[in-house]
Structure 1
Amino acid sequence: MTRIVPVFVTSFPAELEPGHLYVSAQFSTAAHLCACGCGREVITPLSPAQWVLMFDGTVTIRPSIGNWALPCQPTTSSTTARSNGRATSPATRSS
């Protein structure tokens, strides 16, 4: 996957779309489908003790997201989501 689009939501949709990083500030959590393409959901709790989300026109999550409990054992060096240089919300994102 070469591009991840950030989508700010209150709660996650029933079905996550590939290539989207859903961010719920209210619940301090992010979710996306595994970047390897296996389709498994990856849920990331956001907190200074675990993963931190930075927003400056792009969304970056650090440190790397890896889930060794998944059979594919994915990892990314850092997750940065971009959409024409601006993060989007469900009301403004294009499909």
Structure 2
Amino acid sequence: MKKTSRLLLFLLLLFLSSCSAAPEPKISEQQAKSIVIEKNTRTIGSVTIVSIEQKGNKYIIKWENPENCESGVEHMNHQSGKIITSEVTIC
């Protein structure tokens, strides 16, 4: 009985650990940067990527356009490339 319960516990832990892992990104970091630059480019200045971080199933991309006095953070799904949330600050 003790061996059976240990085996069941091991299988449960194995199953839960494999389910919690995020899938490999389909969108590369470079593609994600390009999407954010294209989305936020205006007639004044140019968008620069400050940082990009992969967290769970998304990229968190910080950007700025100092000439236009704008900056922001984009949360992007790394499977589809779609923007989940967007925060923009204007001076």
TM superposition score normalised by structure 2: 0.37
TM superposition score normalised by structure 1: 0.36
Which has more radius of gyration?
A: 2
Structure number with greater CO (CA < 8 Å, separation at least 6) is 1
Higher helix share: 2
